[in-house]
Each structure stands twice: as structure tokens, then as C-alpha cells.
Amino acid sequence: MSRKTARQKAMMRRNLFLTGCACVLILIGVLAGFAVKKLTEKPKPEKPAETTVSSDQSEQTAPVSGDDTPSYPAEGPNGLDANYRVLFLVNGKHPLPENYEYEKDLITIPQEYKNGQLDQINKDIWPYMKAMIDAAWADGVKLYVWSPYRSYAIQNMLFQKQVNRVKTADMTTEQAEELASTVVARPGTSEHHTGLAADFNMADDRFEQTEMFAWLQKHAADYGFIMRYAGDKQEITGVIHESWHYRFVGINTAKEINRLGMCLEEYLEHIGEMPADS
Ligand SMILES: [Zn+2]
């Protein structure tokens, strides 16, 4: 009897030991499974930031301006940063610095987005331009990039062509160049050289009659672009009315410039950021 009990006790101890082992193994298994699941689990997509920000926040992020500046959301279409702005001024009085390095900032525009030969644009503004063109297409409007970045050599060629076109026998070369410069920028004074501007579809007055122009009038600012040369601002910009030429400034800045009815030069004066004449 006592022998049996001893044996039974030994059996019980063995069973207890085996059960314990099994428990530990199961626990390890469960923990390992949990760890693997955690590691392989896809992170939940982050909810896009709400476009409705509190008035306090939006006041902080709105472009610099007077007291009457409305609040603008910090996020534009496709999650684009609406406060990102580029106010770099290039005009007849503000030529590009000779050492201006533009090529490092350029990328190639995909073939399907353009209808001209030239195909380079500033890499930081391309997401904005692409989103704009995609939105136009979604609305059935066939917007294409005609002429974006232009090298100094191309500008020079275009300018000389224009000088030859306007020069009459009684004109000096300087006079002809002056006249030509209202239509084609002198080399070094073109916004096209910065990669921040582009002509769409055609550099032609007929553009104003197209649905592309009508669409841009409504939506260009939503993507950070302004029609850079309005006819009634020629005195200030030094350039004739160009319905086809759009310049990136930034979403909220473009909205503000349009709201104020200003050209870029006037806006820079307005916010006290006009660079000195060079
Ligand atoms: Zn242009």
C-alpha cells in the first residue's frame, strides 16, 4: 500500500511536471504568435489631418498680411502643404544672380503632362502642378504644360527672335530690344529660368478663349499658381497680358494675392518683402 502510494506520488509529480512544461510551451507559443502578428501587422493608415483647423491655429499659419487676412487651412488638395510659399522675384529690375543654381532643383515632367518640347520644372513645385493638371483632367479640361523651365541659351534664342520680329529700319537695337522685352523676357530676367513658372497649352492670346484658361481662372490658386502677368499690371510687371503664363507662389499666398487683386510685385511691397533693385 505504501509502495503503491509512493509510486502514485511519483506519477503525480511526473504528471504535474509534464503539465507545467506543456503550460510553459503553450504560453511561449501564444506570446510568439502575438509578437509575430504585431510585427507583420500593417500600420493603420494615418487619418489625413483635418482641413478644419481652429481659428487660432489657422491665424498662425496664414500668410503674412494685414489684419483683414482671412484664415486659410494649412492643407491643400491631395494633402499639399498650403503654407509652402516661394516668393522669389525675377523681373526686368531683378535679374537672376549670375551664380543662380537652378539645374540641381529640376526634374523632368512626365511625357503625358506636356504638349511642348521643353520638359523640366522645379522639383518642389511639380507635385502642385501635377495635382492641378490631374484635377483639370478630372473635370474634362485638357490642360498641358507647354513651356516650363528655359535655359539661358533658349531664352537668348527666343529673345533675339523677338528683337528681329519687332525691329524696324528706324529703330536702334536698344529700342528694338526694349520693345521686344515687353513680350519676351531678356535672358536672365525670365521666370522660366527659375523652373517656378510655366506656359500652358499655347503661348498665344487665343488661350484666353479656351476652357483651360477658364478652368485656371477658377482653380489655379487652389494649387498655388497665379496668372503672373495681367494686362492691367503691365506698368508694374513690365510684361504684356499673358493669359497662359502661371507662376507658383504657394496655395495660401496665391489665394491672398488674388483676394487683394495684386500682382507679385505689389504683394511683395504689401508684405514688406520687396527685394532691392539690382
Ligand atoms: Zn511664360
Summarize pLDDT for 10-22 with one digit per residue, the tens.
Answer: 666 666 655 554 5
Distance (angstroms) between ligand 1 centre and the Cα of 118 equals 12
Q: Which of 165, 202, 212, 162 is nearest to 185 (CA)?
A: 162
Q: At which residue does the C-alpha cell 489655379 appear?
A: 220
Summarize pLDDT for 39-74 with one digit per residue, the tens.
Answer: 444 443 343 333 333 333 344 444 555 567 899 999
Distance (angstroms) between ligand 1 centre and the Cα of 100 equals 19
Q: Return the ∠ at Cα 124 (arms to 208 and 243), rounded to 5°.
A: 10
**In whole angstroms, how large is the CA radius of gyration of the chain?**
32
Q: Which residues pair with 107 in a beta bridge?
A: 121
Give catalytic residues, as residue numbers: 242
Distance (angstroms) between ligand 1 centre and the Cα of 203 equals 7
Q: Which domains does the chain have, with CATH numbers?
A: 72-150+190-270 (3.30.1380.10)
CB hemisphere CA count around 232 (13 angstroms)? 3
The pLDDT of residue 8 is: 67
The crossing angle, in degrees rounded to 10, of helices 126-138 and 211-219 is: 120
Q: Which residues pair with 122 in a beta bridge?
A: 106
Contact 238, 254 (CB under 8 A): no
The pLDDT of residue 100 is: 73
The pLDDT of residue 69 is: 84
- In 63-210, alpha helices (H): 126-138, 152-166, 173-180
| pTM of the predicted protein model | 0.73
Distance (angstroms) between ligand 1 centre and the Cα of 260 equals 23
Distance (angstroms) between ligand 1 centre and the Cα of 15 equals 88
Distance (angstroms) between ligand 1 centre and the Cα of 189 equals 12
Distance (angstroms) between ligand 1 centre and the Cα of 245 equals 4
Distance (angstroms) between ligand 1 centre and the Cα of 43 equals 45
The pLDDT of residue 1 is: 46
Count of C-beta atoms within a 10 Å radius of residue 83: 19
User: Long-range contacts for 232-235 (Cβ within 8 Å, ≥24 apart)?
Assistant: 233/263, 233/265, 233/266, 234/182
Beta pairing, strands 197-200 & 225-229: unpaired
Contact 107, 121 (CB under 8 A): yes
Q: How many whole angstroms from its chain centre is CA 172?
A: 42
The pLDDT of residue 269 is: 98
Q: Which residues of the chain have pLDDT under 70?
A: 1-67
Residue-by-residue DSSP string for 1-48: -HHHHHHHHHHHHHHHHHHHHHHHHHHHHHHHHHHHHHHHSPPPPPPP
